[in-house]
Amino acid sequence: MAAASGPGRAGAIEAQLRRDVALGCRVLARAGLVENVLGHVSARTGSDRMFIRCRGPEERGLLFTTSEDVHEVSLDGSGKLPDGYVVPAELPIHGEILRSRTTAGAVVHAHPPSVLIAALADLSLAPAFGAYNIPAMRLAMDGVPVYRRAVLVRRPELARELDKAMGRSSVCIMLGHGLTSVGDGVEQAVVRALDLDVLAQLTLRLAAAGGSAWRVPAEDLAELPDLGGGLNDKAVWRFHVARLEHEGLGLPA
């Protein structure tokens, strides 16, 4: 059978992208990276457009996000929303980062307690483990930047400061606030946020156990391959979506 094309195919792609944003919110909430109504996920739909998780008239929190909570707006937040819906106050995080990083496809902003506490305690997120979680270890190896303003990023100039602090990294700690992550798509942006959370959790547990920041020897690093997005991103994403479904928190296909 020939592949679908035209408006029907475009509509299916749009529906899937909205679903991915909604699922990303649910995954982050189920994993403890966001609480109640705080946090948001976006996905690029064009050079100056994005889908973003909005707050509705009967807001129930990120764990219960549906595709109906995801709406398309411009990168500056303009666009007509259904009655009762509003864009996040920190929409500039998404708009300015997607504007600056033209190849980025999605942005996550979350508030994991582990990242918050590790940063406030001034603990270095060093590569203190290896094969346990290779993507998280590589985040640490590359260095995790910190945006050192504990502000609500509700103005474009603040979002540009955040983007500058993030530099070439795909993740950034926001001191006294949370994290922002970027990816080619929603799957990758969400999984990078999850990996940073793992890194921060283990850093806190190591510090509590009285351990110091051990670093993986160079000869061991050489034995740690890049397992690719198929395992690092897609399979991890599918696990989290399957867990939601198993617990009755999935979304209709």
Query: What is the set of active-site residues?
Result: 90
CA distance 72 to 42: 9
Tokens 């690092």 sit at which residue?
Answer: 232
Distance CA(142)–CA(160), nearest Å, equals: 21
Q: Which amino acid is at 25?
A: C
Closest by CA position to 237, among listed 23, 10, 8: 23
- Integer angstrom CA distances of residue 146 from 30, 162, 165, 191, 207: 25, 9, 7, 19, 20
The Cα–Cα gap between 186 and 39 comes to 14
In terms of phi and psi (left: phi > 0; alpha: psi -120 to 50; beta: otherwise), the region of 43 is: beta
